[in-house]
Structure 1
Amino acid sequence: MSAPSPAPTEKGILQFLEICDSFYPTHAVEASVEQQRNWYDALCARFDRPLPPDMIFADGMVQRIPIRRYRPRKISTRSILLYLHGGGFVVGSLESHHAICAEIADAAGAELVSVDYRLAPEYRWPAQTDDGFAVLKHLLAASNKVVLIGDSAGGNLAAGLVLRAHDEELSGIVGQVLIYPVLGGDLDAGSYVEMAEAPGLTTADVAYYRQILQAPTGNPIAEPLSASSLAGLPPAFITVAHFDPLRDDGRHYAARLVEAGVEVGFREEPQMVHAWLRARHMSDGARDGFRAVCEAVRRFAA
């Protein structure tokens, strides 16, 4: 008999997982991509929240790439926040992270731009990083200081964009905030084994997303953990969930950044699972974690 899967005990996060299971089946990746997106959209709508007071947002385009700009009632910095959403590179949109982006912008007192990058399998790698990079270059060209933020797959894109900008000697990125990022770790080691059946995301799910994206193995833009050097990168804040197969990706990347002399803030949320951002209004642990994310963003933007 196999050992039971590790699981959190915090009441709020257990309630969150129960709601998630009612909207998004455990084996969702076995369904069609269209069905996955329908389930995910319904799940995101369930956790939707009213935007902060006086928040202004508007949709636009950078080249052919849809974006959404958020402008809070109080702007305290000229830095721009660039947000890349999660969803395994397969699901997610401007709508899926709408309230999350608005709340981060409001907390940081900064304008935020969210990117509706192309999704797999219709568009394989590097379409996603190319879209993000086009928007990043657009913002930097306007002499903006930029803070890159991403969760899960978006954390992968954000970390990759930082490396890509460094390789091309682009200046102006003042911080990177990576929220339970997927960074190319070994699926047969560490938390990918320990948390293989964790609630919310399994190692089998991660393998599915890798297969569908078809990013090249060992490419540091696609798998930042494979980068030969992380020296000279902007400061980082990385937060991971304990009950998450992706946990060690963030742990190891934070350690490598420190070794390279990069300023790093790191948090491991002890009772959290993957995608805990959506639980920020119902879980004490998620609320604390989200507050730490917002504080890091505000500090980098300032």
Structure 2
Amino acid sequence: RIILSGDSAGGNLCCSLTTRIIQENLQKPIGILLSYPVVMMNACGSISRMVFAQDPVLNFQSMQIVLGSYLGARTDLAATEPLVSPAVLPDELLKQFPQTVIMVGDTDPIIDDSTFFFQRLREVGVPTKLQIYRRLPHGYLNLPSQLPNAPRAISDAGKFIKMMMHDDDKQR
């Protein structure tokens, strides 16, 4: 049994890998745990991206650098290519995703993206959970000693993995 887990760009890679697994008709993971995943690579002007544009880890400038590094001259793909921006996956692929947990801080510039992806998953019938943590920025998993709420999120990640294993046991 496999559970994929990734934070930030790693969350993007988990979604892209799951998409390729579905397309290739391979054995899917039993769950996906996404921590503040980058699911929309485009430079959209969501409210959270504007409000938290000065985030020390993921600000507007760093987003542009990441986008350029990820896509090179093909930044036009950011808004339309599902393997780049999983939030734009067609419903017929998205509905085949395994149960998914999305964890994000309430001061993360991409919280709106996480919320949008969560809503899309729910709309197509994927068992999903969105866990929002107070006063946690993007990258909080890397700063547990500096951010008082980060250890709880780290502990919850372990609980979510156990929950996915338990849910899989019940389905067997």
Which range, TM-score by smaller chain?
Answer: 0.7 to 0.9
| Cα drift, residue 226 of structure 1 | 1.1
Look up the equivalent residue of 2:98 and give its one-letter code: P
Question: Structure 2 vs 1, CA of residues 193 and 227 (structure 1 numbering), >3 Å: closer, same or farther?
Answer: same
| Cα drift, residue 281 of structure 1 | 4.1
Where do 5+ consecutive residues of structure 1 fail to align?
1-144
Aligned to 1:219: 81
> Greater share of helix residues, 1 or 2?
2
Rounded to whole Å, the distance in 1 between the matches of 2:19 and 2:112 is 20
- From 203, 216, 237, the equivalent of 2:60 is 203
Look up the equivalent residue of 1:221 and give its one-letter code: L
**TM-score w.r.t. structure 2 length?**
0.85
Rounded to whole Å, the distance in 1 between the matches of 2:131 and 2:56 is 20
> Greater share of strand residues, 1 or 2?
1
Match of 2:152, SS state, is helix
Match of 2:37, SS state, is coil
Q: Does 1:284 align with 2:148?
A: yes
Measured on the aligned residues, the alpha-carbon RMSD in Å equals 1.6
1:40-119 superposed matches below 5 A: none
Note if contact 1:156-1:182 (Cα within 8 Å) is conserved in structure 2. yes
Rounded to whole Å, the distance in 1 between the matches of 2:149 and 2:89 is 32
**TM-score w.r.t. structure 1 length?**
0.50
| Cα drift, residue 199 of structure 1 | 2.9
Larger Rg, first or second structure (1 or 2): 1
Which one scores higher on RCO, CA 8 angstroms, separation ≥ 6?
2
1:99-178 superposed matches below 5 A: 145-178=1-34
Look up the equivalent residue of 2:35 and give its one-letter code: I
| Cα drift, residue 282 of structure 1 | 4.7
Question: Structure 2 vs 1, CA of residues 248 and 171 (structure 1 numbering), >3 Å: closer, same or farther?
Answer: same
Equivalent pairs, count: 158
| Cα drift, residue 172 of structure 1 | 3.5
Aligned to 2:169: none
Rounded to whole Å, the distance in 1 between the matches of 2:11 and 2:148 is 23
Look up the equivalent residue of 1:228 and give its one-letter code: P
Look up the equivalent residue of 2:130 and give its one-letter code: F
* Higher alpha-carbon deviation: 184-193 or 260-269: 184-193
Match of 2:136, SS state, is strand
* Higher alpha-carbon deviation: 192-201 or 285-294: 192-201
Question: Percent identity over the alignment?
Answer: 25
> Where has structure 1 moved over 6 Å in runs of 4 or more?
none
- From 94, 101, 122, the equivalent of 1:237 is 101
Match of 1:211, SS state, is helix
Aligned to 1:187: 44
Note if contact 2:46-2:112 (Cα within 8 Å) is conserved in structure 1. no
Note if contact 1:187-1:203 (Cα within 8 Å) is conserved in structure 2. no
